Amino acid sequence: MKLEAVEIVRVAMPLVTPFRTSFGTTTTREVVLLRAVTDQGEGWGEAAVHAEPFYNEEFVDAALIVLERFLVPMLCELDHLTAEAVRPALRLVKGYPAAKAGLEMAIFDAELRAQGISASHALGGVRTRVPVGVSVGISPNLGHLVDTVERYVEAGYARVKLKIEPGADLEPVAAVRERFSDLALQVDANAAYGPGDHAHLLGLDTFDLVMLEQPFAREDLAAHATLARELRTPICLDESITSADLAAQAIELEACAIVNIKVGRVGGLLSAKAVHDRCQDLGVPVWCGGMLESGIGRAANVALASLPGFTYPGDLSGSDRYFHQDVTEPFVVEDSHLAVPEGPGLGVTVRPEVLDELGAERHLVRPS
């Protein structure tokens, strides 16, 4: 397969509800989509990069420059392009895992569409639908938080994740647990705590949580291991896990009992599968994290989550959890599950009229 061009599409998608974390509040999600044009057909991918460099070093403006100046030209030089060839071809560019993941996804989509194979089948998926949960950001007050969780429970979500941070942790978790005694509940700290918060975090054991996700900085595996020895609640790592080797290292150090896998964080679907496979070999369960993706990235996540090692509900949700309208046909939650697309490639169709309505910016990058 030969890459002839890549169309970079930048679009701001209005959110149903402003998304607030310890990093601030946003009312739109800047989405970066990539349309790969090859001699065998086209494919779409999504670079799940954020507008600001707060989750990791990568952010939209920088990713767009790197895509146009380096990543796309590198792939255009290959005479026999496959999804497997993307990662080694881009190895000289340090970082930018989401940009690389978006390109790999688009090539994978084009390759599989040409072969008539679904992404789930190509990855080794074993499910036709996957369990999903919903993530709830920091709320302005306890009443608002409990009401928000109640709406999602009534909508059919069987698992809820609460974002927490210093000053907004034990009390809100207690309020939700008091109202929903049987709800599968977990919390995500997004590395907001330091080792000095160790004793405070032990208080989370009161609430019968499914897991505590990423309490400390991504590089501080030792602090996670220390906490894990005393905390009954299982620790899950997110930001710390950027490769299969790092997952194995964290597991060996007993820094986590569960691993969150995000396609954009680890550099692509094939890298995500490698993390899954390593964790499965080591007997550690995984689940699929979301990064406010459109239907394109969501389709890739759902295909990934169909693999056998994904035993916890993913942060995938339905399209209407985040967007008034999606750029593909919407994903709909039924009985706290999403159906795995069965069509070739990612199995979804991009809706150009939605991109036009949202004022998408398009830029076609061709070989020089």
Among 271, 297, 242, 239, smallest CA distance to 32 is for: 297
CB atoms under 10 Å from CB of 18, counted, come to 11
Catalytic residue, candidates 100, 161, 163, 273? 163
Query: To 10 degrees, the CA torsion angle through 29, 357, 102, 126?
Result: 90
pLDDT in the model for residue 17: 83
Catalytic residue, candidates 100, 161, 262, 273? 262
**Secondary structure of residue 292 in the 3-state scheme:** coil
Whose structure tokens read 């809706």? Answer: 351
Structure tokens at 239: 């930001």
262 given a catalytic annotation: yes
Span between the terminal Cα atoms of the chain, in Å: 18
CB atoms under 10 Å from CB of 282, counted, come to 12
> Domains, the chain, ranges and CATH?
3-116+351-365 (3.30.390.10), 121-339 (3.20.20.120)
pLDDT tens-digit profile of 231-262? 999 999 999 999 999 999 999 999 999 999 99
pLDDT tens-digit profile of 169-188? 999 999 999 999 999 999 99
Sequence-ordered list of residues with C-beta below 8 angstroms from that of 275, at least 6 positions apart, any chain:
241, 243, 244, 247, 259, 261, 266, 286
100 given a catalytic annotation: no
pLDDT in tens, the chain (368 residues): 999 999 999 999 999 987 765 456 788 999 999 999 999 999 999 999 999 998 899 999 999 999 999 999 999 999 999 999 999 999 999 999 999 999 999 999 999 999 999 999 999 999 999 999 999 989 989 999 999 999 999 998 999 999 999 999 999 999 999 999 999 999 999 999 999 999 999 999 999 999 999 999 999 999 999 999 999 999 999 999 999 999 999 999 999 999 999 999 999 999 999 999 999 999 999 999 999 999 999 999 999 999 999 999 999 999 998 999 999 999 999 999 999 999 999 999 999 999 999 999 999 999 87
CA–CA separation, 223 vs 227, rounded Å?
A: 6
Sequence-ordered list of residues with C-beta below 8 angstroms from that of 265, at least 6 positions apart, any chain:
56, 97, 98, 238, 239, 241, 242, 289, 291
Among 261, 253, 263, smallest CA distance to 237 is for: 261
CA–CA separation, 243 vs 161, rounded Å?
A: 24
User: How many residues appear in the chain?
Assistant: 368
Long-range contacts of 218-225 (CB under 8 A, 24+ apart): 218/191, 220/195, 221/249, 221/250, 221/253, 221/255, 222/253, 222/255, 223/194, 223/195, 223/198, 224/250, 224/255, 224/256, 225/253, 225/254, 225/255
What is the distance, to the nearest Å, from the Cα of residue 204 to the centroid of all Cα atoms in its chain?
25
